[in-house]
């Protein structure tokens, strides 16, 4: 039997993936520790959580119960240093640039399908497996990433930047199941996590407020909130706390000289520390029809003379796009149907039908020839 090591997270999805793998593989499970939750502080000495028991440690206890109930060996591997250097430093540097990064995608690229894969190969393993909602298929003998059966849970957006080599070594056991079916299997096997809620938010922040966490690493400099015409509205608390399209937390309302429509973030200027806002969910400045995507990982033929769609955020609808290579890892992405709040720092995932062919990070955003202040 082929050997597999599954990343067991302590959630129901990876637990059911373990159940399914047992039938056809010689399988072990492994819990990845990516953040120094045991000391309640990071490598700089900043506190990482408010609670005495970190959710990560509770997840480990859940993973341990699942592995024991199924008679599977559970390993525990420490990727704290790798996570800090390849994920967290990037996360902070992007905020410094006024962008809105997605650490989950980088965690997949650098930790789960790189550091963990390297660890597994040293253990003489044939494959690694994850509890992601995605499928792997083959076209012309090469591994391809396919959308999951459960379109509401499909996670190919987060896996879009895996290389062909990483994908070749990966298994996604629950890709042909719905979330409902996953929970039914968990209940059938009396798994302790059968009714556990899905994890939300960013793992290293724990129970603390996101803005409070960022203040440990980035100095928040107050600045001016202005309209696109330059009219001063009030001061902001720091550009790092705002993202394009944001409505909550602006504290703007009841201004006599303006109508009652809600205000939204529509731009940032790092040089002047200015936050730009405008009224209306469908304000025209929130829309674009072109963006430049960099650091693209592409799988399969690089011929772009076919129909493609893109997702500019998780669970967003597919947008038909025209792609053009600007260099080896940079794409010009044009979308005739305008899109709202396409945000630098976020990922763009590209599809050809059901196949996710690649992805990269949004760099600049345009409406026709005008570059947005994003």
Asked if residue 224 lies in contact with residue 274, where contact means CB atoms within 8 angstroms, the answer is yes
Per cent of the chain over pLDDT 90 is 82
Q: Does domain 286-371 have CATH number 3.90.1580.10?
A: no
Q: How confident is the model at residue 37 (pLDDT cuts 50, 70, 90)?
A: low
Given this model, what pLDDT does residue 203 score? 63
Q: How confident is the model at residue 51 (pLDDT cuts 50, 70, 90)?
A: very low
Residue range 66-85: mean pLDDT, rounded: 95
Residue range 81-93: mean pLDDT, rounded: 93
CATH of 219-279, one of 2.30.30.280, 2.40.390.10, 2.30.38.10, 3.40.50.620: 2.30.30.280
Q: Mean of the per-residue pLDDT values for the chain?
A: 92
Asked if residue 330 lies in contact with residue 293, where contact means CB atoms within 8 angstroms, the answer is yes
Given this model, what pLDDT does residue 38 score? 56
Asked if residue 87 lies in contact with residue 110, where contact means CB atoms within 8 angstroms, the answer is yes
Ramachandran angles phi, psi of 7, nearest 5°: -75, 105
Residue range 265-289: mean pLDDT, rounded: 96
Q: What does the alpha-carbon distance between residue 182 and residue 318 come to, in Å, rounded to a whole number?
A: 26
- pLDDT for 324-373, tens place per residue? 999 999 999 999 999 999 999 999 999 999 999 999 999 999 999 999 98
Asked if residue 343 lies in contact with residue 244, where contact means CB atoms within 8 angstroms, the answer is yes
Q: What does the alpha-carbon distance between residue 207 and residue 298 come to, in Å, rounded to a whole number?
A: 36
Per cent of the chain over pLDDT 70 is 92
User: Residue ranges per domain, the chain?
Assistant: 3-131+173-211, 219-279, 286-371
Ramachandran angles phi, psi of 168, nearest 5°: -60, -35
Given this model, what pLDDT does residue 204 score? 63
Q: By C-alpha distance, which of 2, 67, 60, 54 is closest to 31?
A: 60
Q: Which of 30, 54, 107, 356 is catalytic?
A: 107
Given this model, what pLDDT does residue 47 score? 57
Catalytic annotation present for 107: yes
How far, in Å, are 104, 164, 308, 324, 352 from residue 305 at the CA level? Answer: 31, 21, 9, 9, 11
Tokens representing 157? Answer: 């957006």
Q: Which of 30, 54, 203, 291 is catalytic?
A: 203
CB count within 10 Å of CB 201 equals 10
CATH architecture of 3-131+173-211: 3-Layer(aba) Sandwich (3.40)
Q: What does the alpha-carbon distance between residue 61 and residue 56 come to, in Å, rounded to a whole number?
A: 9
Residue range 199-204: mean pLDDT, rounded: 67
- pLDDT for 119-137, tens place per residue? 999 999 999 999 999 999 9
Residue range 228-254: mean pLDDT, rounded: 93
Residue range 164-192: mean pLDDT, rounded: 98
Given this model, what pLDDT does residue 199 score? 77
Position with higher pLDDT, 266 vs 201? 266
Given this model, what pLDDT does residue 205 score? 64
Given this model, what pLDDT does residue 306 score? 95
Residue range 221-227: mean pLDDT, rounded: 96
For β-strands 127-129 and 170-171, DSSP reports them as parallel
């Amino acid at each position: 039997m082929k050997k597999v090591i599954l990343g067991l997270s302590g959630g129901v999805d990876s637990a059911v993936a373990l159940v399914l793998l047992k039938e056809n593989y010689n399988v072990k499970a492994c819990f990845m520790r990516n953040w120094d939750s045991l000391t309640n502080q990071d490598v700089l000495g900043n506190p990482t959580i408010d609670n005495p028991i970190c959710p990560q440690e509770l997840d480990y206890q859940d993973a341990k119960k699942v592995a024991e109930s199924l008679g599977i060996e559970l390993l525990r591997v420490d990727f704290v240093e790798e996570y800090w250097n390849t994920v967290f430093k990037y996360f902070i540097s992007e905020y410094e640039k006024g962008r809105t990064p997605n650490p989950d995608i980088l965690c997949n690229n650098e930790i789960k399908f790189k550091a963990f894969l390297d660890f597994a190969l040293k253990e003489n393993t044939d494959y690694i497996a994850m509890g992601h909602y995605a499928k792997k298929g083959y076209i012309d003998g090469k591994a391809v990433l396919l959308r999951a059966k459960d379109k509401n849970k499909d996670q190919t957006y987060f896996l879009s930047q895996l290389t062909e080599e990483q994908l070749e070594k990966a298994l996604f056991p629950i890709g042909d199941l719905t979330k409902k079916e996953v929970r039914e299997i968990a209940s059938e096997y009396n798994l302790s996590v059968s009714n556990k809620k899905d994890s939300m938010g960013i793992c290293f922040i724990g129970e603390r407020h996101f803005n409070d966490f960022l203040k440990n690493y980035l100095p928040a400099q107050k600045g001016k909130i202005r309209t696109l015409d330059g009219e001063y509205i009030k001061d902001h608390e720091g550009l790092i706390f705002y993202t394009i399209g944001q409505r909550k937390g602006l504290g703007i309302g009841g201004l006599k000289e303006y109508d009652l429509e809600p205000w939204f973030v529509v731009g940032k200027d790092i040089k002047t520390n200015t936050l730009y806002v405008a009224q209306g969910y469908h304000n025209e400045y929130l829309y674009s029809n072109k963006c430049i995507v960099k650091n693209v990982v592409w799988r399969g033929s690089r011929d772009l003379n076919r129909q493609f769609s893109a997702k500019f955020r998780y669970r967003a609808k597919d947008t038909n796009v025209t792609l053009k290579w600007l260099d080896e890892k940079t794409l010009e992405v044009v979308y005739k149907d305008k899109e709202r709040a396409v945000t630098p720092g976020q990922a763009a995932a590209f599809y050809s039908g059901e196949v996710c062919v690649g992805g990269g990070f949004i760099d600049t955003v345009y409406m026709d020839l005008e570059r947005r202040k994003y």
